Structure 1
């Protein structure tokens, strides 16, 4: 009765296009009044406790840091450096776009910000070299997904809080899958470029130009070094790293590159708060939602049901991946993590999967949702900045989705991809 009412009403509200945070809250309150699994006071207290988390402070801070660095000319400098190394390759502009997205992902922490910052420069550049318009948009949209995989990632922070695992462990474990995604995208881009005759940039850089480009890009290149080096070196926690990223981003964007004015900082901060407000509301309400699930033992019931279907570990993990891929196409990523972690984590841990490895599997699944029609956020962002029809982009994205799914399966069934680096660095996982 409780499960049917809770999830049935939640799905009903979603069908009515009720915002997801409100849908979760209404479904929870309706269940409380009808079945009374917990008191309304307990639900309210759990909501507040769900937001009373030090790691969650990283969410608005990384959002602010990513926004100011995107506006401050850092993406442009990263592109210049990537062009020196990869611009002359076959399909070089595509490779430059992917490599720059990898670097920028270590700054922004989000997928859509990466697409916007890199796509607004690289899509017109690819079109000028006669790249197919839909291919260019699909490439940048897909490369933008690494924003949720390469640390620091807001999605990883949300998962770590929900699953009770180390944020540092999640960040470290995300490097292997993130680089694997980047490598896979580069390989497909080169193969496609060879097939369609997309030549590299014929520009030859002089030694003086190369030195000038590197010197100009040093402040930008130091961003991931400072953030990730400080975390892994034990100088500060991931949350403190987010604050350091904000201070450094202001310093570089305002005083070094001078592409952001001091008068713009309040607006950027206000914008970051607006972006994070919805996420934090979802987290708070979902904490109460999760409390109802826990009291009524829904996660255990669902776990037992899944395990009763089959005892085959491979089949169960494939079914979970299919579920996450479907959820990622229509549900906001952070909400999906908060709702599904209490349900699915007991299942995978009973199969012997490390919680941090499952975190990367979940994040990667939901990242694929960013580029999966009909609601792929990265697709809409790519359409907005490039004037590409959504239908054309939806067709062009399909091979890229296949590439991402191949990487997903490797991460799911080869734990060493995720766990080797944390073990080398002696970071608990």
Structure 2
């Protein structure tokens, strides 16, 4: 029966069936074949899977990032980043990374970063004479920072599936996210020295003050969100609503760059994306319920531990597995499917659920810039005009600093857990 469940799921995926339908269909087939459970349970479990307060954050985080892009707020962020670090050698490369760090504190998704801020970054770097593959590869790598630095849409999904504190997950992502930015800026500095890239702007205090003044209100978004959550003013779910309201206020009332037409377009895109995400969560809920009640998770844990019980080796195996999964499966689908399977194994070797959440999300973010299903690769290919294969090759060198960060996040628990322990425990 277990073989039937997984074989039917993989078979449906290979046939090109959407992930949500494959999850629900294979679960229904299992229930019908098993015979002891009423088929109506499938619908009940799917409905219960999306009946969760933290999931209310999903549409609002999606909408806040889209509003930032549509209202032209990303341009202000980019101008500030240019004034701040554009004077370094390989200046626009550093601007690319710093801009992604700032935008990460507003949108929580890598796709919004690549599609919105990435468009500005690639054009500016190309106009200043940077090789297009370098600009595209760096933009793809820096976009992965988005869901690591709070707020983060994948961490909301993980928190729901793992029954972990979303607030602690957000706090845990801050230091690793800044570490990712530091390693990518180090890679830019090395490349700039090796290829002879020059500075792209002079450092002038008056220019920095002017850019900071233009971007001051958008820059307050991360302060508003993180400060509100840590002070207890609102929950992580309510923070998503606050981010959307603030983005709407800036675009419609302050800068007056958000039109009714663009607002309607953003709203429809948000509805469409939210429906897809929640349908995957619903399908994964019944799939995960079957996996848990049939004790498949215990068998997986026992199988891995029979190979090795060394913590470092188990974490290495899980990382390799997640990197492979990230190459073929969309982030939300991977989280909802694998959390029920892998969490008991992590508990058996003493890994905190919050720590594992960062490990899983970072692995799957790297999957966004690896073929064949890397969503960021497709977006950058469309934005830059490069083929998918050229975009993949452009991103490949920047996987090295990302793998370095993954190793540190995996094996240096204090790096991840220090901040959530300080704030919440």
TM-score in same-fold range (> 0.5): yes
| Most deviating of 241-250 and 50-59 | 241-250
Cα displacement string for residues 261-281 of structure 1 (whole angstroms, at most 9, x for unaligned residues) = 144323311210101111100
Closer/same/farther in 2, CA of residues 289 and 101 from structure 1, 3 Å limit: same
Cα displacement string for residues 260-316 of structure 1 (whole angstroms, at most 9, x for unaligned residues) = 114432331121010111110010111111111112111111111111111121111
Distance in structure 1 (CA, Å) of the matches to 2:348 and 2:258: 50
Q: Name 1:271's counterpart in structure 2.
A: 269
Residues 390-405 of structure 1 aligned to structure 2 (within 5 Å): 390-405=388-403
Query: Which SS does the other structure have where 2:382 is aligned?
Result: helix
Q: Name 1:138's counterpart in structure 2.
A: 137
Shift of 1:37: 5.7
Closer/same/farther in 2, CA of residues 193 and 63 from structure 1, 3 Å limit: same
Q: Name 2:325's counterpart in structure 1.
A: 327
Query: Which SS does the other structure have where 2:270 is aligned?
Result: helix
Q: Name 1:232's counterpart in structure 2.
A: 230
Distance in structure 1 (CA, Å) of the matches to 2:76 and 2:272: 28
Query: Which SS does the other structure have where 2:234 is aligned?
Result: coil
Distance in structure 2 (CA, Å) of the matches to 1:126 and 1:266: 32
Cα displacement string for residues 357-392 of structure 1 (whole angstroms, at most 9, x for unaligned residues) = 000000000000000112211111111111122222
CA contact (8 A) 1:155 1:334 kept: yes
CA contact (8 A) 2:96 2:121 kept: yes
| Most deviating of 388-397 and 45-54 | 388-397
CA contact (8 A) 1:116 1:381 kept: yes
Distance in structure 1 (CA, Å) of the matches to 2:213 and 2:100: 20
Q: Name 1:97's counterpart in structure 2.
A: 96
CA contact (8 A) 1:105 1:151 kept: yes
Q: Name 1:65's counterpart in structure 2.
A: 64
CA contact (8 A) 2:149 2:177 kept: yes
Q: Name 2:175's counterpart in structure 1.
A: 176
CA contact (8 A) 1:38 1:292 kept: no
Distance in structure 1 (CA, Å) of the matches to 2:309 and 2:154: 30
Shift of 1:195: 0.6
Shift of 1:213: 1.8
Residues 175-214 of structure 1 aligned to structure 2 (within 5 Å): 175-203=174-202, 205=204, 207=206, 209-214=207-212
Distance in structure 2 (CA, Å) of the matches to 1:353 and 1:13: 33
What's the RMSD between the two structures over aligned residues? 1.2
| TM-score of the two chains, using structure 2 as the length reference | 0.98
Q: Name 1:46's counterpart in structure 2.
A: 45
Shift of 1:85: 1.6
Q: Name 1:223's counterpart in structure 2.
A: 221
Which residue of 229, 245, 248 maps to 1:247?
245
Structure 1 unaligned regions, length at least 5: none
Distance in structure 1 (CA, Å) of the matches to 2:353 and 2:376: 27
Q: Name 1:29's counterpart in structure 2.
A: 28
Cα displacement string for residues 387-408 of structure 1 (whole angstroms, at most 9, x for unaligned residues) = 1222222122222112211110
1:283 is aligned to 2:287: no
| TM-score of the two chains, using structure 1 as the length reference | 0.97
1:300 is aligned to 2:298: yes
Cα displacement string for residues 212-264 of structure 1 (whole angstroms, at most 9, x for unaligned residues) = 22211111111111111101111000111111111111110112122111443
Distance in structure 1 (CA, Å) of the matches to 2:216 and 2:3: 56
Cα displacement string for residues 178-206 of structure 1 (whole angstroms, at most 9, x for unaligned residues) = 11111111101111111111111144546
| Most deviating of 313-322 and 122-131 | 122-131
Query: Which SS does the other structure have where 1:105 is aligned?
Result: helix
Q: Name 2:417's counterpart in structure 1.
A: 419
Distance in structure 2 (CA, Å) of the matches to 1:266 and 1:193: 42
Distance in structure 1 (CA, Å) of the matches to 2:327 and 2:228: 35
Closer/same/farther in 2, CA of residues 294 and 206 from structure 1, 3 Å limit: closer
